[in-house]
A and B are shown apart, each in its own frame.
Chain A
Amino acid sequence: MNRDACRHAIEAIAWPVASLIAALALFGVFVAFYGASPVEAWRLLFVGAFGDAFSWQNSLQRAAPLMLTALTVAIPARAGLIVIGGEGALVVGGFACAAVPYMFAPPSGWMGTLILLSAAAVAGALWIAMAGALRQYRGVNETISSLLFGYIAIALFKHFVEGPMRDPASLNKPSTLPLAEELRIGDIGPFDVHWGLAWGVALCVLGTLWLTFTSHGFATRVVGGNARTAKLVGLPANALIITACALGGAAAGIAGGIEVAAVHMSANASLIVGLGYAGILVSFVARHEPIAIIPVAILFGGFGAAGSMLQRRLGLPDASIQVLLGIAFVIILASETLRGRLPSLRLSARPAQQPVASAAP
C-alpha cells in the first residue's frame, strides 16, 4: 500500500473513532446535567452492549436491521444521492411480507420465507427507486422526497393494518394476521439471534464486493463521483442511479420483512421505531462503505441495547440514546473538515492511530 492509500485508510478509521469518543464525552456532560454519573453511564453503555453473552445477543439482534437500513443510505450515496427514506422502505417491506399470505398461501418452509422476503425486497426497492426516478427525471431533491415517501408509507401502513387487514383478535395493538409458524425466521443454532443477522452481514459483504469488483459497481461509483464525466464516457447515469436506489430500498425492505418474520410475527406499529433513521447515521459513520457498516451497526445496535439499561439503572429518559446518536452524527459530519489534516502522518502511521486505540474504553 502506498503512503497515500495508507493515509486514507487510517483517516477513514481515525476520524470516526475520534468523533465517537468526542460524542461519548459530550454525552457524559449531558448525563451529568441530568444528575447522573457520566462514568457510570459510559460503563453501562458498554456493559449493556457487550458485557456478557446476553447483551451481545441483544446487540447483534438489534444490529441486523441497522445493517440493512444503513445499506439503503450507503448504496445510493455511492451513486451520489443522499436518500434518507429507509424508514419508509422498511415499513412497506414489512407490510409486503405480512400481506403475502392474504393473497395466496405461500409454501411452508424456507421457500415460503424466501417468497415473503422477496416481496419485502421488491416493495422496498420500488419505494426508494421512485425517489431516484423523480430526481433523475424531474429534478426533485431525493433527500426531501424520500423522507416524504416515508411518511406516506407509514400512513398507508396504518390505514391497512388498522383497517382492512386488521386481525380481529388484535385488540389493543392493531396487527395483521400473524404469520404461520413455518414461515417465521428462527434463531441461528443455539444462539438467541435470528437469521436476519446473517442476511445483514451477507448483503453488506456482497455490497462491497459489488462496488469493488464488478464493472457495474465501478460504473455506479463513477456516476457518484461525477455524473457529468459518467455521461461523457457514455455511462447510463439514470439507469445506474435508479438501480442503486432500488438496491438500497430492497435492503431496507428485507429489513422490514425480517422484523416481521423473525421478531413481531405480524405487521404492527412496533415496526415503526426509527430503525431507518438510525441506519442513516450508521451509513455516514461507515462512510457509505458496505463492509464497514457491519462493525458500526453492531456498535450502534449495542448502544440501543444499552439504552434500556441506562433507563433502568440511572433513570435517564429513553431518548438518551437518541441524544447520543444525534451528537455523534453532528460531530462525525463536522469532522469531515479535518480530513487530510491528521497530524504527524509523515513520520509513521502508528503514532496517529495509537491514541485512538488506547482511548477506546
Chain B
Amino acid sequence: MTPDVLFDVVIGVIGGAVRVGAPFLFVSLGECITEKAGRINLGLEGVLVFSAMAGFAGAYWSGSPWIGVLAAGASGALLALLHGLACSLTRVNDIAMGIAIMLLGAGLAFYLGKPLIQPQAPQIPSIFLGEWSTSPTVRAALSINALFPFGIVLAIVMAWAFANTRWGLVIRMVGDSADAARAQGTSVTAVRVAATVAGGFIAGLGGASLSLYYPGSWNEGLSSGQGLIAVALVIFARWRPLNCLWAALLFGGAGAIGPALQSAGIGGGYYLFAALPYALTLLILVVTCSPARTLKGAPMELGMSR
C-alpha cells in the first residue's frame, strides 16, 4: 500500500466513522435511556428499520428532510410505545418482546415501504468541515451528517441530566430499585414507558440518518443488525451517554474500513470487512462481561446484566 492510498483509507475511515456511526450513536443513546429505567429494548433494531422507512416517506412526501426526521422519531416512539406498554404487563418477558418488535418493525417497514424503493427523497444536509483542504478525498470525508452534532449535544445533555436533574434521578431510581421508587410514590410503569418511548424517538433519528443521509435511500437491506450492535454497545459504554459517543465512532470506523478500502481500489474480502463490526461487538462483550459479578454501572433492575 502506497502512502497516498493509506492516507485515503485513513481519511475514509475517519469520515466513515461519523457517517456510519450516526445510527449507532442514536440507537445506543435511545437504548441507554431505556435501560437506565430498567428495561431492555432489543426491538430498537426493528425501530431503526421502521423509522428509516417512515423518515424517508416523510421527507419524500413533504419535500423537507427535517419533517422526515420528525416522522422517523415519531414512528420510532410509536413502536417503542408498543414495546413499553406490552412489557408493563405482568409476566411478559422484555427480551422476547424485543425480538417480536424487531420482526414486527421490519415487517411493517417492508410492507409500507414497498412504494418507496425507487424514488429519491430530499436528504439531510451536510456540514462541511473539510473546506480548508484542497484534496477532494478529505473534503468528501469530512462532510458530515447535520444530525450528528445534534447527537453529540444529546449525549452531553443526557449525561448531565442523569446526574443533575430531577428527571434523570427519577429514571435512574426506577432503573436501580423499583421498590424504592414505589415507596417514594413514583409510578415505575409510567417512568419506564416514558423512557422507552423517548428511547424509541432517539433511535428513530438513527433511522433517519440511515435513509436520509447514508446510504441515503430506502431499501430492505438498509439495516442489518446496526440496531442490535448498538444495544450491545451500551453494555460496552457502561450505560454512560458520553461513552456511547466514543463507542459509536469506534464502531462506525470499523464499519467504514471495508468501503474505504474498496474505494481505494482494494476490493478483496469485502464481506469479511463487513463482518468486522459484529466480530468487534462480540469481542467487546466477551472482554467486558463477566459471569461472576454484576457489571459496574449497570442499572440494578436490568435482567440482562445479571
Contacts and interface: CB of A to CB of B under 8 A. Distances in A.
B159 interface: no
A316 B275 CA distance: 34
B291 A148 contact: no
Contact of B92 (A277, A319, A336): A336
A339 interface: yes
Interface residues of A, number: 46
Contact of B103 (A137, A162, A317, A329): A329
Contacts of B97: 330, 333-334
Contacts of B110: 317-319, 322
A152 B105 contact: no
Contacts of B93: 82, 333, 336
Given A151-B278, A334-B92, A141 B304 contact: yes
B164 interface: no
Contacts of A137: 291
A84 to B, nearest CB: 6
A284 interface: yes
B228 A337 contact: no
Contact of A326 (B86, B105, B286): B105
B111 A317 contact: yes
Interface in B263-292: 269-272, 274-275, 278-279, 281-282, 285-286, 289-292
B67 interface: no
Contacts of B103: 277, 280-281, 322, 325-326, 329
B91 interface: yes
A317 B114 contact: yes
Interface stretch (A153-161, A189-197, A203-211, A257-265): A153-161
B1 interface: no
Interface string B211-232: 0000000000000110011011
B281 A155 contact: no
Given A159-B272, A325-B107, A326-B103, A147 B225 contact: yes
B104 A327 contact: yes
Interface string A126-139: 00000000101111
Contact of B100 (A141, A151, A329): A329
Contacts of B86: 330, 333-334
B63 to A, nearest CB: 24
A323 interface: yes
A152 B279 contact: yes
Contacts of B274: 155
Contacts of B107: 319, 322-326
B82 to A, nearest CB: 7
A141 B286 CA distance: 10
A314 to B, nearest CB: 13
B197 interface: no
Contact of B306 (A30, A139, A143): A139
A22 B32 CA distance: 33
Contacts of A141: 232, 235, 285, 289, 304
Contact of B271 (A136, A138, A145, A159): A159
B271 A155 contact: yes
Given A322-B111, A326-B103, A148 B225 contact: yes
B91 A337 contact: yes
A149 interface: yes
A357 interface: no
B106 interface: yes
9 contacts: A82-B95, A139-B306, A143-B99, A151-B224, A151-B278, A156-B275, A322-B107, A322-B111, A339-B91
Complex A-B, nearest 6 residue pairs according to Cβ-Cβ distance, in ascending order: A326-B104, A322-B107, A319-B110, A155-B275, A139-B291, A337-B89
Interface of B: 42, 82, 86, 89-93, 95-97, 99-101, 103-108, 110-111, 114, 224-225, 228-229, 231-232, 235, 269-272, 274-275, 278-279, 281-282, 285-286, 289-292, 304, 306
